[in-house]
Amino acid sequence: MSDTVLLVEDELLIALDLQATIEDAGFAVEGPCMTVTEAQEAIDRCGGALAVALLDVRLADGTVFPAADRLYAEGIPIIFHSGHADTSDLRQRYPTATICPKPSAPASLAAALQNCAARDAGDEALRATG
């Protein structure tokens, strides 16, 4: 299992705060990616080697959905962290995603990261044993 979290957030101060939260939870950070283009490039680099993706919905160059679709198809757990998200739309598009409204307490985000990574590790173990 990877210990890397893809961080996609276009507000620099929030991104730096989230990076500290992710690192304090024991993960490495890929990013922060501030645009959909940067997120797509990070997915190209990291592929399935990500434990979790922490995504803002609205970015400088559009919505994160093209990147989220790729992550979801690859089975990478997604946490949406946004103040502008339509929760019902997210739940319909990405039924297994976790949604943490912005702002979220660092402890809540850390717990969500740990839960998603643990769930992914369990899924990997099941796939390996057949």
CATH of the domain at 74: 3.40.50.2300
pLDDT at 125 > cutoff 50: no
Tell me, what's the pLDDT at 127?
40
Tell me, what's the pLDDT at 102?
87
| Overall number of domains in the chain | 1
Tens digits of residue pLDDT in 95-104? 999 999 888 9
What residue spans of 25-81 are helical by DSSP H?
36-46, 65-73
Q: Which domain, by its residues, includes 59? A: 4-129
- CA–CA dist 86, 83 (Å, integer): 9
Per the structure block, which two tokens stand in for 105? 């307490």
pLDDT at 121 > cutoff 80: no
Q: Which residue has the higher pLDDT, 44 or 121?
A: 44
Tens digits of residue pLDDT in 13-46? 999 999 999 999 999 999 999 999 999 999 999 9
As a whole number, the mean pLDDT across the chain is 90
Angle at 81 between CA 89 and CA 33, to 5 degrees: 110
Question: Worst-scoring range by mean pLDDT, 27-31, 62-66, 85-89?
Answer: 85-89
- CB 54 within 8 Å of CB 7: yes
